[in-house]
């Protein structure tokens, strides 16, 4: 074994690197072996996308420690991404299977660095922001994942409760304040975005998840108060009326010092409008959730899943309707406990997120469960990672919401009729997948527990059994109506196809 690999691994061990996630190939095999010899835990993955998802999980879930950056000891091949959590660091590696030269290897180290200095916003911008808030008739706070990264939940809660302003969480901003907080207006998302006249963005970006801040989803006259740590993100897409550059927690404390004597009235027309819409939407969702027809719809499946999931579980979610409806139906009480397809809507990250979370919970002997909820199309991107889960006996629960397609599919009878018509490459709609594919057998093939679910009773019993089983992973293949869809939306996504 090359001395350079031993040297590298010893350096990583000294700097408290505990886990290495990767895919080995010549010459990276020796790096992983040396790491194990140095006491680092190596988790072998099945594809590089899932390895990258492990890195992103460590970034989102953890607070950087004071460890030093790992030096570039593997010649010029080392590329650094500095993320981690207290007392633990992550590395992901992927070997170049063709060129057995260390300078051609694709190696990425993920470690920790000293925390960034806490910065405050310009006091003049703070004054402007408070002036805008005091004059607002329909204010709204949007809590983004930046607030979760900053661990600003205490400050954000105080801002919401002192001012009485309604708030809306972004997908990975869920849990910074609990979803059942009385000021949360997620059930009136479209109405709150459309009619707000002043919006405070707390670590949230005006990307596709927030429709870029553009009409018709937003008022063309809305004034944006943007709080962000990155200067290049300020006024991106929509010019900020007040741009507050700095640490989320520190800037919120500045706002509190100035705005503490003011409170938005709870009996305002704005609150009345939002509460009426929330009540109406809740009734629609409830009626869909309580339907007893088979196959189940999205809302029925998520209703029963939500009743059984522990409040402190880590929820991983990706897909189209699966992710969108799951965001509204599966509530979060705690920050940094939900991961999804993120800013770029990347499919295939779910199993990688779940593995990183599962390894950590297993090592720490935590009672927290990791539940990965996948659309059937999204599961196909990294589904082979179930072998990784079985190999390391990670008690991850995967729930595949299977509607036989991307957005929608067809039932088995319709599929058979289409097969009689000729070449399926010219007949089958591009969004269709094989009806009632047996995804649970993929998990069973590697020694995990697989469940085929068609009814509410089967869903509840298999999920409860999986939650009780802490020795191995499980996969629930939940067959729902291929025509099931989201409840009627006031506005389509701006990225919707014109077809």
Q: What is the pLDDT of residues 406-438, one digit of tens each?
A: 989 999 999 999 999 999 999 999 999 999 999
What average pLDDT does the segment 331-351 reach?
90
pLDDT at 363: 86
* Number of neighbouring beta carbons within 10 Å of residue 126: 21
Task: Please name the residue that has the structure tokens 């009426």.
Answer: 276
**Mean predicted confidence (pLDDT) in 50-72:** 52
Q: Do residues 263 and 351 share a domain?
A: no
What pLDDT, on a 0 to 100 scale, did the predictor assign at position 15?
61
Cα angle vertex 63, ends 61, 68, to 5°? 125
- Cis link prior to 27 (omega < 30° from 0)? yes
Kindly state whether residues 72 and 129 are assigned to the same domain.
no
- Is residue 413 domain-shared with residue 444, that is, in the same domain? yes
CATH code at position 145: 3.40.50.1220
Phi–psi pair at 19, nearest 5 degrees: -125, 145
The stretch 255-270 carries a mean pLDDT of 95
Give dist(CA 474, CA 476) in Å, integer. Answer: 7
Same domain? For 130 and 184 the reply is yes
The answer to whether residue 280 is domain-embedded is no
**In the chain, what is the greatest distance between 2 CA atoms, to the nearest angstrom?**
72
Q: Which of 78, 106, 134 is the last residue of a domain?
A: 106
* 13 and 79 share one domain: yes
Paired strand residues for 21: 43, 92
Identify whether residues 484 and 405 lie together within a single domain: yes
Enclosing domain of residue 83: 3-106
CA-to-CA separations, 379 to 44, 335, 348, 350, 430, in angstroms, rounded: 19, 25, 7, 8, 17
> 268 burial class (0-12, 13-18, 19+ CB within 10 angstroms)?
middle
| Residues 7 and 56 both lie in one domain | yes
Same domain, 387 and 490: yes
Span of 90-94, 189-193, 318-322 with lowest mean pLDDT: 90-94
144 and 269 in a common domain? yes
Inside any domain, residue 426: yes
What does DSSP assign to residue 296?
B
Q: What is the structure's pLDDT at 86? A: 31
Number of domains in the chain: 3
Q: Work out the burial of residue 49: count CB atoms within 10 Å of its CB; fewer than 13 is exposed, 13-18 middle, 19 or more buried.
A: middle
Which residue has tokens 């949360």? 184
In a domain, 284, yes or no: no
170/261 same-domain check: yes
Q: What is the mean pLDDT of the chain?
A: 85
114-to-64, 86, 203 alpha-carbon distances in Å: 7, 11, 21
Per-residue pLDDT at 99: 29
pLDDT at 5: 52
The whole-angstrom distance between residue 21's C-alpha and the CA centroid of its chain comes to 19
Mark whether 154 and 65 lie in a shared domain: no
Average pLDDT score over residue span 348-373: 92
Whether residue 466 sits in one domain with residue 384: yes
Among 75, 106, 137, the domain boundary falls at 106
Read off the pLDDT of residues 367-414 as tens digits, 9 standing for 90 and up.
899 999 999 999 999 999 999 999 999 999 999 999 999 989 999 999
Residue 223 counted as domain residue: yes
Report the relative pairing of strands 19-23 and 88-94 from DSSP bridges: parallel
- Residue 140 pairs with which residues in a beta bridge? 199
pLDDT band at residue 74 under the 50/70/90 scheme: very low
Q: What is the pLDDT of residues 13-47, one digit of tens each?
A: 556 778 888 888 877 788 888 888 888 888 999 98
Neighbours of 119 (CB within 10 A): 11
Closest CA to 386 of 437, 440, 317: 440
The per-residue pLDDT for 366 is 86
CATH number, residue 411: 3.40.50.970
């Amino acid at each position: 074994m090359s001395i350079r690999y031993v040297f590298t691994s010893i350096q990583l061990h000294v700097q408290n690197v505990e886990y290495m996630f990767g895919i080995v190939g010549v010459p990276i095999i020796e790096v992983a072996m040396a790491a194990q010899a140095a006491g680092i835990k190596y988790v072998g993955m099945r594809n590089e996308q899932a390895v990258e998802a492990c890195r992103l999980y460590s970034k989102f879930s953890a607070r950087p420690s004071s460890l030093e950056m790992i030096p570039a000891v593997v010649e010029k091949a080392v590329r650094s991404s500095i993320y981690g959590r207290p007392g633990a660091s992550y590395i992901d590696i992927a070997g170049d299977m063709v060129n057995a030269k260390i300078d051609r290897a694709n190696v990425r180290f993920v470690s920790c660095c000293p925390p960034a200095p806490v910065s405050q916003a310009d006091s003049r911008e703070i004054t402007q922001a408070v002036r805008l808030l005091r004059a607002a008739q329909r204010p709204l706070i949007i809590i983004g994942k930046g607030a979760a990264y900053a661990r600003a939940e205490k400050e954000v809660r105080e801002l919401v409760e002192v001012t009485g302003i309604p708030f809306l969480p972004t997908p990975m901003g869920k849990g910074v304040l609990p979803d059942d907080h009385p000021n949360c207006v997620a059930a009136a998302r479209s109405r709150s975005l459309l009619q707000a006249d002043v919006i405070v963005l707390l670590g949230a970006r005006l990307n596709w998840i927030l429709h870029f801040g553009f009409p018709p989803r937003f008022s063309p006259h809305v004034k944006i108060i943007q709080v962000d740590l990155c200067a290049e993100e300020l006024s991106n897409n929509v010019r900020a009326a007040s741009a507050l550059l700095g640490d989320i927690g520190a800037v919120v404390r500045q706002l509190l010092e100035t705005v503490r004597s003011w409170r938005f009235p709870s009996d305002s027309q704005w609150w009345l409008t939002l509460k009426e819409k929330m009540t109406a939407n809740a009734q629609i969702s409830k009626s869909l959730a309580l339907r007893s027809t088979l196959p189940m719809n999205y809302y029925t499946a998520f209703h029963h899943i939500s009743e059984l999931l522990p409040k402190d579980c880590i929820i991983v979610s990706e897909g189209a309707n699966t992710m969108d409806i799951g965001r509204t139906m599966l509530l979060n009480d705690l920050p940094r406990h939900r991961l999804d397809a993120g800013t770029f809507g990347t499919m295939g990250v779910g199993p990688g997120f779940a593995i990183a979370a599962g390894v950590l919970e297993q090592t720490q002997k935590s009672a927290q469960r990791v539940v990965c909820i996948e659309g059937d199309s999204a599961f196909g991107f990294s589904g082979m990672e179930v072998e990784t889960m079985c190999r390391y006996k990670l008690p991850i629960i995967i729930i595949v919401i299977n509607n036989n397609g991307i957005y929608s599919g067809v039932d088995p009878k319709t599929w058979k009729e289409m097969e009689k018509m000729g070449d399926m490459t010219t007949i089958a709609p591009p969004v269709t997948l094989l009806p009632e594919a047996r995804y649970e057998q993929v998990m069973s093939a590697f020694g995990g527990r697989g469940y085929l679910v068609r009814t509410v009773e089967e869903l509840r019993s298999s999920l409860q059994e999986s939650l009780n089983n802490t020795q191995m992973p499980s996969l629930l293949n939940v067959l729902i109506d291929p025509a099931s869809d989201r409840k009627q939306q006031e506005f389509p996504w701006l990225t919707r196809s014109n077809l």
